[in-house]
Chains A and B, each alone.
Chain A
Amino acid sequence: MSLLPTPRRTRATDRADAERLPPRAGEVIDRRRTVGFRWNGTPYTGHPGDTIVSALAAAGERVFSRSYKYHRPRGLLTASYLDPGCVVQVGDEPNVRGAHRLLAEGMDVRSQNTWPSLRFDVRAVNGLASRFLATGFYYKTFIKPEVLWPAYEKVLRTFVHAGEVPPDSAPGVYDKRYAHPDVVVAGGGPAGMAAAVAAARSGATVMLVEEEHQLGGHLRWGGPAELARLAELRAQVAAEPAIEVLTDAVVGARFDDNGIPIVARGVPGIDERLVKARAGVLVVAPGLVERPYVFAGNDLPGVVLSTAVRRLVNLHAVRPGRRAVVLSANPEGDAAVGDLESAGVEVAEVVDARRGESVRAAHGRSGLRVVELGDGRRVEADLLVTAVGWTAPTSLLNQSGDRPVYEPRAARFVPDPTRMPENVLAAGGIVGDGDVDALVEHADAVGREAARRAGRSASAAVAVPALPVADHPELFSAGTGGFVDFSEDVSAKDITTAAAEGYDSVELVKRYTTATMGPAQGKLETVNTVAVLAAATGRTIAETGTTTWRPMWAPVTLGALAGRSHEPVRYSPMQPWHERHGAVPLIAGQWIRPEHYGDPAGEVTAVRTGVGIIDVTPLGKLDLRGPDVASLLDLLYVNRWSTLGVGKVRYGVMCAEDGVVMDDGVTGRLGEDHYLMSTTSSGAATVWEWVENWLQTAHPEWRVHVTPVTTAYASTNIAGPRSRELLGRLTDVDLDPERFGYMQVRTGRVAGVDGCVLWRIGFTGELSYEVHVPAGYGLHVWEQLMAAGADLGVRPFGVEAQRVLRLEKGHAIVGQDTDGLTQGFSAGLDGLIKLDKDDFVGLPELRWQRERDTAPRLVGLRPLDGMVVPPEASQILDRAGGIAGRVTSSRMSPTLGRSIGLAQLDRELAEVGTRVTIRLPDGRDVTAEVTSPVHVDPEGARLRV
């Protein structure tokens, strides 16, 4: 006859609080109120202060998930944030730590990746047919044939234990803020609290960060003495206004110079907040993490850690089982025995590892039924509590440059203080052992030293008392199998198999088996992995070493990292008008520009036959002043500038030192020592930095002041045969072509606005004026132009029409008709590049390119069938079928009524009149003829009217 009670199936409401104990001294639940929630669709209740899993455990539930690979039932293990068996879906939020997340009214909690149900998961068959999921299965299974990869992916996806994000899930609110505390204390246990208080009392501002929902660490589940101490420390923290306490928050990492990301939950109105702290000193005080024991059946629901029992009983007043076996190697295990007895749990057997007693295996199917002891006895129990030792979670120390060393006497890794940087200190259990007084005394000294190192007290270095480690038996594995990594379903056998296959370094084993790579990030698994590997390879743990502890300390949501989005958007002053007039927006870098106003071809025709205006405000503009500007221009542009007279503008191209075309634009000379340079819209920032680079690092003796004025001017290009007529109605500048000729600049008044710069240039190939007006008046001038030109049929045109107009004229666009390898002579700049200048940036490479004369050329292209518009980036084939070039620009020309293009083409095929084959993306070939790049008005007569 079984000694265990038969589980009853009853209605959920009956089962709420079925395993709830009478009030406990340290409990964190509010029994006066209840919270209703659903678990896999069934209504349950708990109390405020309950975690999801403590409420379910109080109702008698024991299974919370199915494991990753084998779909084994899993229950409580640690009853903390790390608990691998308690990851659940809450509403549309996946991967919630069920043993950490506080219950809230109306929560819809579901188990993840169980089908058809948590109780009857068909994939549990994997446990029987595990050959498919052998050690290193990623590497063995999914190699060949490649055609099956998509199928593998589908199969794998169904096994992955992650939850689901519904496509219609509401976006969360993720905040970000910067902070500059003198001291960040990672961990709010007794040591962390004491260190924070001491640092604050020494004058430091402190951020005290605790992963759990309350400060206190292990004091919270202790006896009356610990609870009294807890109250005292909490009062001390509360009394220090310089301490900012963040609970339900984790220090994610420690980066260079104490850049410390902290992810905080539980801020009202916000899902998560990423605090980017820059701390003077980091005090690492995370305490110790209890380590699971490796033995056959160690993942059965009912096999738990001693700290889990202590939390459940003392914090949540939950009876964790009915009949228990306790494997204890330390005082925490002994205390768990006391907790169980006080909770009315029958303690069937205490197995004391310190006397050489042991546990061999746990048996059961969906939960623990029998514990097999080392002496062969079999004890019926529904609870097996293990207390076999501690892992020092040293991540933050490792990230600080420390290399913790294994201390066999204490069976754990301890920091090597000689390798810690000045601005990082450690306190509490991660350093050593002791009673609360010893921990607090040590942490108090650490806190004072932290304040001193942060520059907050002028005292001499604080003498930090020693905190030695206590002896603890080395107890990792019973040698009977069992799981090493519960999250990733990695067994001890997987580790030994990996070692036998030659993966005998711990870093290789980690990658081959994926041990330590799950959500607990090694804090439960690393040391056991190392211990099992050490045993398999006949080495010591110290010789085997550990894997690298990388950021982050805990998994971080993408929302927290993305946070509030900081993506600058730039608008021209005329944007409100564009929006009112149906402009289709084009995102060009940070700029939002009109692509067209509904009819790009009509816009082209308006410019060719009448007049159009385009907002070109994003054009980069640099104000250059000083006596050495001409020297600067001569150095940066491939053409000559010292000959440019006042009142003239000139087109220039800049190359980099490798001769590759970088940017282009016109620059005008407004006065003796005053120039206005324009750049491409996308190159504005780059060119400014480039100019400053040459001025500051190569020619600091030159007297030149550079000021970016891109948006100081709103820029409008007025283009078309009637542009002079239109502009003449609004300006006092003399537009007579005899006095204001092509490639000249004037300043004056436009539409009542003084201080405008007008240059007569012709990117579109038509008579045109680019008018730069003080930006605050940009909208005014634009509206005046539209009104004044109504009888002329003035039309606004967008970027698309401009692209067509310039293509008809064969003007290359840097970055479209050139790429990162296009040197000057491949960009149609033969007439511009002045190789006889003494120096300019990129000169040697261009000289050599000219001498080789083998480079591709920029050519015009016309498909023989003028109705075919080859997509840009279509390849051009040589006679042997090889790639000879590509189409860089391609459009239907409204002016010519046929398709035209520009192309980068091999030297041999670049002669005008050559027929080439263009291969379209759909595989068809079309024939095109190489032409001059200039398709419309090759003489430029329309510009010079």
Chain B
Amino acid sequence: MMLLPCPWCGPRTATEFRFVGEARPRPDPATATPEQWRHYLYVHANPCGWSTETWYHRAGCRRYLSVERHTLTHEIRAVRDAATGTTAEAAP
């Protein structure tokens, strides 16, 4: 029921979004070892504190968003469009 401040659509209830997961870089598939690749697939930091996550606004602008969220308080301190980097201030 928390609100997520979409940079495009404004605050919307979290049910409009799909939580994709922690933002993690993809290893180079040509050189990745099984250990590196499975770390990418399965090992999550799951911090108690600030976490950079990807959310998809499936019922709204249909944009993938990079969200900095505090996992304990649900405070959100930064949201930007994953592709364009657009923030609420910069959105038209």
Contacts and interface: CB of A to CB of B under 8 A. Distances in A.
Given A259-B13, A844-B29, A848-B34, A693 B56 contact: yes
A698 B34 CA distance: 21
Contact size class for A? Answer: 20 to 34
Contact of B20 (A693, A695, A845): A693
Interface string A670-696: 000000000000000000010011011
Given A256-B74, A839-B30, A696 B41 contact: no
A257 B1 contact: yes
B3 A700 contact: no
Interface in A107-163: none
A916 interface: no
20 contacts: A257-B3, A257-B74, A259-B1, A657-B40, A657-B41, A658-B41, A689-B56, A689-B58, A692-B56, A693-B56, A693-B64, A695-B83, A696-B82, A697-B64, A700-B82, A700-B83, A838-B30, A844-B34, A844-B37, A848-B34
Given A657-B40, A658-B41, A697-B82, A692 B29 contact: no
B84 interface: yes
Given A657-B40, A657-B41, A696-B82, A259 B2 contact: yes
Contact of A700 (B20, B40, B54, B84): B84
Interface string A646-663: 000000000001100000
A696 B64 contact: yes
A196 to B, nearest CB: 24
Interface in B32-90: 32, 34, 37, 40-41, 54, 56, 58, 62-64, 74, 81-84
A388 to B, nearest CB: 38
B54 A697 contact: yes
A197 B33 CA distance: 67
A798 B26 CA distance: 43
A278 B18 CA distance: 20
A385 interface: no
A162 B10 CA distance: 45
A658 B11 CA distance: 34
Contacts of B56: 689, 692-693
Nearest to B82: A697
Nearest to A253: B1
A848 B54 CA distance: 28
B42 to A, nearest CB: 8
A696 B55 CA distance: 12
Nearest to B3: A257
Contact of A257 (B2, B41, B64, B83): B2
Contacts of A844: 29, 32, 34, 37
A57 interface: no
A529 B3 CA distance: 37
Contacts of B63: 696
Interface string A249-269: 000000111010000000000
Nearest to B58: A689
A695 B83 CA distance: 8
A689 B18 contact: yes
A693 B13 CA distance: 21
Contacts of B64: 692-693, 696-697
Given A696-B83, A697-B83, A839-B30, 13 more contacts: A255-B2, A256-B1, A256-B74, A257-B3, A257-B11, A257-B74, A689-B18, A695-B83, A697-B82, A838-B30, A839-B29, A843-B29, A844-B29
Nearest to B37: A844
A698 B26 contact: yes
Contact of A255 (B1, B30, B62): B1
Most chain B CB atoms below 10 A, which of A257, A696, A697, A844:
A844
A696 B20 CA distance: 13
A689 B82 CA distance: 14
Contacts of B40: 657
Nearest to A843: B29
Nearest to A421: B73
A357 to B, nearest CB: 49
Nearest to A257: B3
A523 to B, nearest CB: 23
B22 to A, nearest CB: 12
A261 B54 CA distance: 28
Contacts of A689: 18, 56, 58
Interface string B5-36: 00000010100001010000010011010100
B9 to A, nearest CB: 15
Contacts of A839: 29-30
B88 to A, nearest CB: 16
A700 B81 CA distance: 11
Interface in A690-748: 692-693, 695-698, 700
A792 B83 CA distance: 54
A700 B58 CA distance: 18
Of B11, B13, B32, B74, most A-chain CB atoms within 10 Å: B13
Contacts of B83: 695-697, 700
A843 B30 CA distance: 9
A838 B31 CA distance: 11
B37 A845 contact: yes
A652 to B, nearest CB: 18
B29 A256 contact: no
Contacts of B20: 693
B34 to A, nearest CB: 6
B67 to A, nearest CB: 13
Contacts of B81: 696
B41 A256 contact: no
A689 B56 CA distance: 8
A278 B16 CA distance: 15
A844 B81 CA distance: 29
Contacts of B18: 689
A775 to B, nearest CB: 21
Interface string A824-860: 0000000000000011000111001000000000000
Contacts of B26: 657, 698
A657 B74 CA distance: 29
Nearest to B11: A257
Q: Name, among B29, B30, B40, B63, the residue most crowded by chain A CB atoms within 10 Å (CB to CB).
A: B29
Contacts of B30: 838-839
A696 to B, nearest CB: 4
A881 B18 CA distance: 44
Contacts of A838: 30
A256 B84 contact: no
Contacts of A845: 37
Contacts of B3: 256-257, 259, 278
A657 B34 CA distance: 12
Contacts of B54: 697
B31 to A, nearest CB: 9
Nearest to A699: B83
Nearest to B27: A844
Contacts of B2: 255-257, 259
A658 B81 CA distance: 26
Contacts of A259: 1-3, 13
In order of increasing CB-CB distance, the 4 nearest A-B pairs are: A259-B1, A256-B2, A700-B83, A255-B1
Interface in A540-585: none
Nearest to A658: B41
Contacts of A697: 54, 64, 82-83
Contacts of B41: 657-658
A253 B63 CA distance: 31
Contacts of A692: 56, 62, 64
A459 B2 CA distance: 28
A278 B13 CA distance: 9
A827 to B, nearest CB: 19
A601 B32 CA distance: 50
A844 B30 CA distance: 8
Nearest to B84: A700
A710 to B, nearest CB: 15
Interface in A582-600: none
Contacts of A700: 82-84
